[in-house]
């Protein structure tokens, strides 16, 4: 079993992922085929029983809506599960495979509903379920944070009766706007060529924040050339105007996609980038970690 030196400099095993769970037991709505990439899933990483806090986070890896970066999925899940959080890495459908909005939003919403519907089984608090995403996964995260719903109370599918509203959001160097400062590749994969301006407005998530948007932890770096910090600046400005609680960090150094940076970007292999420690501090205030 692989060993990770934790922040506390104790030695512990990574949480082993469980088998992926299909978001829909039968064919997913809007599926274009029967290949693996047509079947959205969540992969659970459950914390050791003695560390479990009852909180959960659905993790949306980045990749420009064209791929899914493992270090922004399983990498985060291994780290957070060691701090007591049950993590569920979302494999959502991608623009590179022919999918467009609202398929990705539907997958993220279904993931939160599914985790909430099985809270008793996984010993989770259904009111402490968050969502986290990096880069384009940050766009998907902020899309759900601003486009959630309460569920359909009379639906024959018990999962669909659950709310898709996350209780917190974590946005790592996220694509948020589809305007001047967007990442063009992500926008194209999400909406295709020449999208309807109304749809661009709707999915520029800094324009969709309301007082009901969940509390957020948002961070970026000043050196990010792929997704400029203006994405985060615009989003937290909107959170501030709406009266939504947030924690915001801009780190001077670091390229796009830095993740936990273990062994990279000047971070020792047995440590993590400071954002991860700041996140734990914030999650403690939110009762997600002890």
> What gap in Å lies between CA 91 and CA 93, rounded to an integer?
7
User: Can you tell me the mean pLDDT for 272-290?
Assistant: 97
User: Can you tell me the mean pLDDT for 81-91?
Assistant: 98
- 220 - beta bridge partners? 250
Q: Is the pLDDT of residue 9 over 70?
A: no
- 249 - beta bridge partners? 219
Domains of the chain: 3-285 (3.40.50.1820)
DSSP string for 30-56? T---SSGGGS-EEEEEPPPTTT--S-E
**What tens digit of pLDDT does each residue of 28-69 get?**
999 999 999 999 999 999 999 999 999 999 999 999 999 999
Q: Is 7 exposed, middle or buried (0-12, 13-18, 19+ CB in 10 A)?
A: middle
> What gap in Å lies between CA 170 and CA 61, rounded to an integer?
12
User: Model confidence at 14, in pLDDT bands (50, 70, 90)?
Assistant: low
**What tens digit of pLDDT does each residue of 179-217 get?**
999 999 999 999 999 999 999 999 999 999 999 999 999
> What gap in Å lies between CA 206 and CA 74, rounded to an integer?
27
Instruction: List Cβ neighbours of 23 (8 Å cut-off, separation of 6 or more).
Output: 40, 41, 42, 107, 110, 111, 114
The answer to whether residues 17 and 45 touch, using CB atoms and an 8 Å cutoff, is yes
- 134 - beta bridge partners? 172
Nearest to 221 by CA among 254, 258, 246, 248: 254
By three-state DSSP, how is residue 185 classified?
A: helix
Q: Is the pLDDT of residue 232 over 60?
A: yes
Nearest to 251 by CA among 224, 269, 280: 224
Q: Is the pLDDT of residue 139 over 90?
A: yes
The answer to whether residues 260 and 132 touch, using CB atoms and an 8 Å cutoff, is no
> Residue 237 has what pLDDT?
98
Residue 280 main-chain phi, psi, to 5 deg: -60, -40
> What gap in Å lies between CA 224 and CA 215, rounded to an integer?
24
Q: Is the pLDDT of residue 70 over 60?
A: yes
Q: Quick one: DSSP state of residue 93?
A: -
DSSP string for 109-146? HHHHHHHHHTTTTTT--TT-EEEEEETHHHHHHHHHHH
> Residue 263 has what pLDDT?
86
By three-state DSSP, how is residue 58 classified?
A: strand
DSSP string for 196-257? -HHHHHHT-GGGS--TTSPPEEEEEETT-SSS-THHHHHHHHHHHHHT--EEEEEESS--TT
> Residue 284 has what pLDDT?
97
> Residue 191 has what pLDDT?
98
> What gap in Å lies between CA 235 and CA 218, rounded to an integer?
9
Q: What is the pTM of this model?
A: 0.94
Q: Is the pLDDT of residue 8 over 70?
A: no
Token pair 């829909």 is found at: 24
Q: Tell how strand 86-91 and strand 56-60 pair up.
A: parallel
| Structure tokens belonging to residue 93 | 């459908």
**What tens digit of pLDDT does each residue of 155-180 get?**
999 999 999 999 999 999 999 999 99
Residue 237 main-chain phi, psi, to 5 deg: -60, -40
Average confidence score pLDDT of the chain: 94
């Amino acid at each position: 079993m692989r060993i990770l030196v934790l922040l506390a400099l104790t030695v512990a095993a990574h949480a082993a992922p469980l088998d992926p769970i299909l978001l829909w037991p039968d064919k997913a709505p809007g599926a274009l085929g029967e290949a693996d990439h047509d079947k959205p899933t969540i992969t659970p990483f459950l914390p050791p029983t003695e560390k479990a806090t009852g909180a959960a986070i659905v993790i949306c890896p980045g990749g420009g809506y064209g791929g899914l970066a493992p270090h922004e999925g399983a990498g985060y899940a291994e780290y957070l599960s060691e701090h007591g959080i049950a993590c569920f890495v979302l494999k959502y459908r991608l623009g590179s495979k022919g999918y467009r909005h609202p398929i990705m939003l539907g997958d993220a919403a279904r993931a939160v509903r599914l985790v909430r519907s099985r809270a008793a089984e996984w010993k989770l608090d259904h009111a402490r379920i968050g969502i986290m995403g990096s880069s384009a996964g940050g766009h998907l995260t902020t899309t759900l944070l601003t486009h959630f719903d309460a569920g359909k109370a009379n639906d024959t599918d018990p999962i669909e009766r659950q709310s898709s509203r996350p209780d917190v959001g974590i946005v790592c160097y996220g694509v948020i706007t589809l305007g001047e400062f967007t990442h063009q590749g992500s926008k194209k994969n999400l909406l295709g060529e020449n999208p309807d301006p109304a749809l661009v407005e709707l999915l520029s998530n800094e324009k969709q924040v309301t007082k009901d948007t969940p509390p957020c932890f948002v961070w970026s770096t000043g050196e990010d050339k792929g997704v400029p910090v203006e994405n985060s600046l615009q989003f937290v400005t909107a959170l501030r105007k709406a009266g939504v609680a947030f924690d915001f960090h801009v780190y001077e150094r670091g390229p796009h996609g830095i993740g936990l940076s273990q062994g990279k970007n000047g971070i020792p292999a047995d440590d993590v980038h400071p954002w991860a420690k700041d996140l734990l501090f914030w999650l403690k205030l939110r009762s997600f970690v002890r």
